[in-house]
């Protein structure tokens, strides 16, 4: 049996037979044939269950020192700091080799090599050198600025360069068509992505259970309808997963790609789960469609418009998988303002962004914990306690009913009415979370997933600024030329512009989203309590009449 080490935290659903673990724990794998990217195993403490295979890796043996290494030290371990993750977020997707003409089968059934989990990954495989190409593709990078890259490479001996660092040092050079260039503009709040001139939204409807291989394999197909074409297409969850991997691979170094809902093994075909998944996928797709860069991308346009029976589908899919302007190469597709960046101010702004996103993430997590507790207490505790109180009032009224004197009858009826009111109020408690807490929790969970992508994005800018400082020091020591240093500064500016544009895009939509979340939440709370007050006021009138 193989033993693996966990890379990230995973809060599994124990009721569905899933494991819970944090990073750095050891798991003994007992079954790799579960399917859908899941394995089965047990931890050292004896607890067993299912877990995503992309959350673990084989234990790494101690590094062997290279005698030719002038520094004589092993590569540094990946940092666990929230603020400064050491590497770019790049995911690689397997290239489909199938020649099957069945559209439903024209997807790789393999699990992705590295999937972005519920927390921002550090991708130890990349940091340990398993990805040797800054574009994330595995083919050699063509270098046109030989003088600069060779000279800088001689002095900056980063044993494992990230995609961003390779771009900063001039080791990523691609020819990007003018039609694929992305524009960063100067807005009122600083750098911004240029708006999509033709914005659109998407709806996800009509989830239908389908099967293939004579019923041996079943799946849910969703109908996607983009507003700008009004032409419906069918997609499965693994198609969404493919799109997610392509978007992370291409844009993850500087653009927040919201995380997909987690895969599910048990209960996948239950009506409540299917409807919940449909809502989650629509929210995810609409968030993608709102982004001015991703919504204009070929891969996203292909996903939402390509019909199932068109040959162009395969061509578009292959084109996306062969795209070289990914990872660090994406920065070469940027057109940025001519205004020079003050890197001292950029570093201060970066610190502010890191503090803000870290604080917001923690606040969202705490609100989620409290909200989930309240959403459970309303139907399980508050409802039962309130209805129990109503039953006691009714019991007291039944007792008073044994007294046949006329003077006692009105009080008896009032008590019985009070019992009925409190039982009705209990029903209100049981239904209320779906009107206030559940919608708020959906929004908080979505933003929690978005915030999980920012440590790596901000970390990429920090790495670029650190590399610039290092090159400036070398220039002062006359080890690199002024022109070479200026080239590095120009590429660092592109990264800073991209990160600033993404942060400003995030902040713009954050304000509008949270205004909507809180307005709806508070209004639902008001309506809920007003309904209770009305019922109690009607009850109070009965006792006021008895006092007259």
* Residue with the two structure tokens 């019992």: 419
Burial class (CB in 10 A: 0-12, 13-18, 19+), 114: buried
> Is the pLDDT confidence value at 89 over 50?
no
Greater model confidence, 36 or 275: 275
Q: What is the pLDDT of residues 56-80, one digit of tens each?
A: 888 765 444 444 444 344 444 444 3
Q: Are 246 and 166 in contact (CB under 8 A)?
A: no
Q: Are 166 and 148 in contact (CB under 8 A)?
A: no
CA 115, CA 171: separation in Å to the nearest integer? 26
What pLDDT shows up at residue 512? Answer: 95
Helices (H) and strands (E) in the chain, counts: 13, 13
- Helix, strand, or coil (residue 434): helix
Q: What is the CATH number of domain 3-57?
A: 2.30.30.40
- Helix, strand, or coil (residue 392): helix
> Is the pLDDT confidence value at 50 over 90?
no
Q: State the fold for domain 87-338.
A: PX Domain (3.30.1520)
> Is the pLDDT confidence value at 129 over 50?
no
Distance (Å) of CA 276 to CA 16, 240, 287, 395 = 17, 16, 17, 41
Greater model confidence, 112 or 181: 181
The pLDDT of 179-203, averaged and rounded, is 93
CA 469, CA 211: separation in Å to the nearest integer? 57
What pLDDT shows up at residue 543? Answer: 93
What pLDDT shows up at residue 65? Answer: 45
- Range 340-548: architecture per CATH: Up-down Bundle (1.20)
Q: What is the pLDDT of residues 515-534, one digit of tens each?
A: 999 999 999 999 999 999 99
Q: What is the pLDDT of residues 348-358, one digit of tens each?
A: 999 999 999 99
Q: What is the pLDDT of residues 270-313, one digit of tens each?
A: 888 888 889 999 999 999 999 999 999 999 999 999 886 667 77
Q: Which of 457, 48, 405 shows the shortest CA–CA distance to 254?
A: 457
Percentage of the chain exceeding pLDDT 70: 78
Number of Cβ atoms within 10 Å of the Cβ of 310: 13
CA 268, CA 284: separation in Å to the nearest integer? 19
Tokens of 399: 């007792």
Greater model confidence, 88 or 440: 440
The pLDDT of 249-254, averaged and rounded, is 94
Q: Are 4 and 26 in contact (CB under 8 A)?
A: yes
CA 221, CA 350: separation in Å to the nearest integer? 42
Q: Which residues contact 97 (CB under 8 A, 6 or more apart)?
A: none
- Helix, strand, or coil (residue 271): helix
Q: What is the pLDDT of residues 135-147, one digit of tens each?
A: 333 333 333 333 3
Number of Cβ atoms within 10 Å of the Cβ of 542: 16
* Residue with the two structure tokens 């044994």: 402
Give the start-to-end residue ranges of the domains of the chain. Answer: 3-57, 87-338, 340-548
CA 27, CA 43: separation in Å to the nearest integer? 5
Q: Are 137 and 324 in contact (CB under 8 A)?
A: yes
Q: Which of 229, 417, 249, 406 shows the shortest CA–CA distance to 327?
A: 249
The DSSP H or E segment spanning 6 is strand 3-6
């Amino acid at each position: 049996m193989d033993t693996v080490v966990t890379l990230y935290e995973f809060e599994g659903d124990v009721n569905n037979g899933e494991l819970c673990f944090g990073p750095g724990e050891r798991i003994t794998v007992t079954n790799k044939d579960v399917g859908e990217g899941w394995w089965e195993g047990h931890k050292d403490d004896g607890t067993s269950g299912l877990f995503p295979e992309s959350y673990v890796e084989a234990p790494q043996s101690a590094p062997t020192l290279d005698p030719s290494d002038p520094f004589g030290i092993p590569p540094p371990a990946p940092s666990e700091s929230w603020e400064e993750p050491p590497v770019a977020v790049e995911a690689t997707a397997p290239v489909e080799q199938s020649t099957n003409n069945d559209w439903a089968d024209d997807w790789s059934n393999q699990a992705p090599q590295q999937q972005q989990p519920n927390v921002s990954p550090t991708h130890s495989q990349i940091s340990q050198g398993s990805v040797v190409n800054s574009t994330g593709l595995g083919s050699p990078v063509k270098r046109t600025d030989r003088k600069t890259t060779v000279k800088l490479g001689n002095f900056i001996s980063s044993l494992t360069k990230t995609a961003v660092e390779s771009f900063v040092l001039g080791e990523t050079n691609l020819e990007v068509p003018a039609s694929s260039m992305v524009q960063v503009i100067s807005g009122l709040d600083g750098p911004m992505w240029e708006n999509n001139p033709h914005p659109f939204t998407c709806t996800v409807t009509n989830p239908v259970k389908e099967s293939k291989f004579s019923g041996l394999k079943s799946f849910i197909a969703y109908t996607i309808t983009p507003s700008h074409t009004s032409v419906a297409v069918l997609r499965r969850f693994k198609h969404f997963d493919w799109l997610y991997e392509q978007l992370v691979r291409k844009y993850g170094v500087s653009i927040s790609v919201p995380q997909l809902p987690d895969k599910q093994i048990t209960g996948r075909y239950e009506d409540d789960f299917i409807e919940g998944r449909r809502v989650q996928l629509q929210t995810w797709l609409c968030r993608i469609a709102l982004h001015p860069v991703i919504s204009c991308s070929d891969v996203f346009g292909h996903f939402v418009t390509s019909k199932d029976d068109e040959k162009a589908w395969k061509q578009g899919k292959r084109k996306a998988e062969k795209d070289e302007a990914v990872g660090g190469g994406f920065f070469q597709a940027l057109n940025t303002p001519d205004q020079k960046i003050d890197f001292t101010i950029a570093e201060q702004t970066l610190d502010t962004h890191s503090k803000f996103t870290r604080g917001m993430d923690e606040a969202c997590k705490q609100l989620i914990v409290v909200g989930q507790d309240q959403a459970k207490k309303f139907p399980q505790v508050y409802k039962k306690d309130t209805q129990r109180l109503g039953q006691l009032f009714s019991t007291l009224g039944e007792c008073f009913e044994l007294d046949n004197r006329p003077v006692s009858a009105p009080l008896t009826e009032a008590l019985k009415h009070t019992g009925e009111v409190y039982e009705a109020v209990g029903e209100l408690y049981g239904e209320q979370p779906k009107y206030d807490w559940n919608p708020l929790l959906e929004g908080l969970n979505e933003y929690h997933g978005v915030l999980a992508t920012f440590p790596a994005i901000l970390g990429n800018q920090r790495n670029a600024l650190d590399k610039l400082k290092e090159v400036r020091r070398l220039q002062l020591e006359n080890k690199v030329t002024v022109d070479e240093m200026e080239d590095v500064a120009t590429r660092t500016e592109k990264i800073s512009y991209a990160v600033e544009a993404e942060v400003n895009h995030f902040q713009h939509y954050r304000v509008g989203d949270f205004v909507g979340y809180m307005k709806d939440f508070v209004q639902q709370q008001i309506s809920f309590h007003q309904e209770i007050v009305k019922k109690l006021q009607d009850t109070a009138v009965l006792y006021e009449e008895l006092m007259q």
